[in-house]
Amino acid sequence: MLKVFCAPARYVQGRDATMALASELSRLGIAGKALIIASPTARKALEPVWRETFPAAGLDYAILDFGGECSFAEISRGSEEARRVSASSIVGAGGGKALDAARAVAAELELPVACCPTTASSDAPCSALSVVYTEDGVFEKCLFYRRNPDLVLVDSTVIARAPVRLLISGMGDALATFFEADATIRAHRKNVAGGLSTIAAAAIAELCYKTLLNDGMGAVAAARAGSITPALERIIEANTLLSGLGFESGGLAVAHSVHNGLTAAPETHDRLHGEKVAFGTLVQLALEGRPRSTVDEAMGFCLSVGLPVTLAELGLENLSRETARAIAERAVAVGESAHNEPFEVTAATLMDAIYAADSMGAAFKARAS
């Protein structure tokens, strides 16, 4: 099997980076009218900058307000609007779901796409896939594309002003990157890009984890103050670029499957993607029988930045066996990344790991308090 590594064509990050969006599009040869699929928060924060900089770069744009859920209906609405305004490119601005929708529209119409995250809440911006949910927020399927975004532009000023919970959630998503890539590599399974992992992908995934441990607390402190510091810049890069490259070219395993399973429980719908992935990572570590020191390090990180380590923190206190079974069965469905582990994963073994991770998390919190 061939080794495969993929990445966006261009990544730009820094203070007030939105000022450079139009010129960066032009640099890549992207001309004509862009349809900007924007969340309400993104539009409010960034439209004045677009209004100033797009005409200066000789570009035109139209804006479509994102409906809030990356569903097939929302993707169809975006495609219809892009056709109506004769868009020659798509720009996504907002959180992970807005960017997922933008990538889906661009792929359907075979147009170039730029992703402009307004939070560092997930590793979605750099990827060549979209996660599609039902209108009710239940995971439906992943859509995979032929190429990664043409441009990922990350404005640190905007991210520093976003709710801190979103940054912490991004760290939860990034926490899984190293452990899932490691499992996929040990199992000789395909990564998300469709091949074996390169040593570059493995190194990026490990650097992502080390950056979280080194800079997580400092980044949270900076974000709470609304300040841009080197620690915050490194965590933005870890959440967005390192985790994005690491998961796609390294591979996914149990942690993200547990997330997908948890979406079947309505009690978790108000929890963020990365919060569920963080607990999924702890489930993976329990399932794999990782050394106590490794589990404690991961749990200590979660506690230090405010990520969940128990089911109760996900709204699943007193989780019934019936609900746990539904979560586990969804997580081990055919095609799920749980099967990238170097051993067989069943609903029964995953159920046990879910309860074990919860018990270990509760004990760790008790010891830490």
Residues annotated as catalytic are 173, 256, 259, 273
In the numeric block, the tokens 């990344």 are attached to: 337
Half-sphere exposure of 129 (CA within 13 A, CB side): 19
Q: For residue 88, give the DSSP letter.
A: S
- Return the closest-CA partner of residue 13 out of 125, 152, 173, 124: 152
- Return the closest-CA partner of residue 216 out of 202, 234, 240: 234
Q: For residue 3, give the DSSP letter.
A: B
Half-sphere exposure of 236 (CA within 13 A, CB side): 30
From edge to edge, which strands make up the β-sheet containing 89-94? 11-14, 151-155, 113-117, 89-94, 33-38, 60-65
Cα-flanking dihedrals φ and ψ of residue 156, to 5°?
Answer: -65, -30
**What whole-number distance in Å separates Cα of residue 363 and Cα of residue 361?**
5
DSSP-H helix ranges across the chain: 21-27, 40-56, 72-84, 96-109, 156-161, 164-186, 199-224, 230-237, 243-250, 254-262, 273-288, 292-305, 321-331, 347-368
Query: In this structure, is the dihedral angle defined by the CA atoms of residues 218, 224, 230 and 232, taken in order, positive or negative?
Result: positive
- Return the closest-CA partner of residue 245 out of 105, 125, 83, 151: 125
Neighbours of 341 (CB within 10 A): 21
**What whole-number distance in Å separates Cα of residue 102 and Cα of residue 115?**
8
Structure tokens at 179: 């452990």
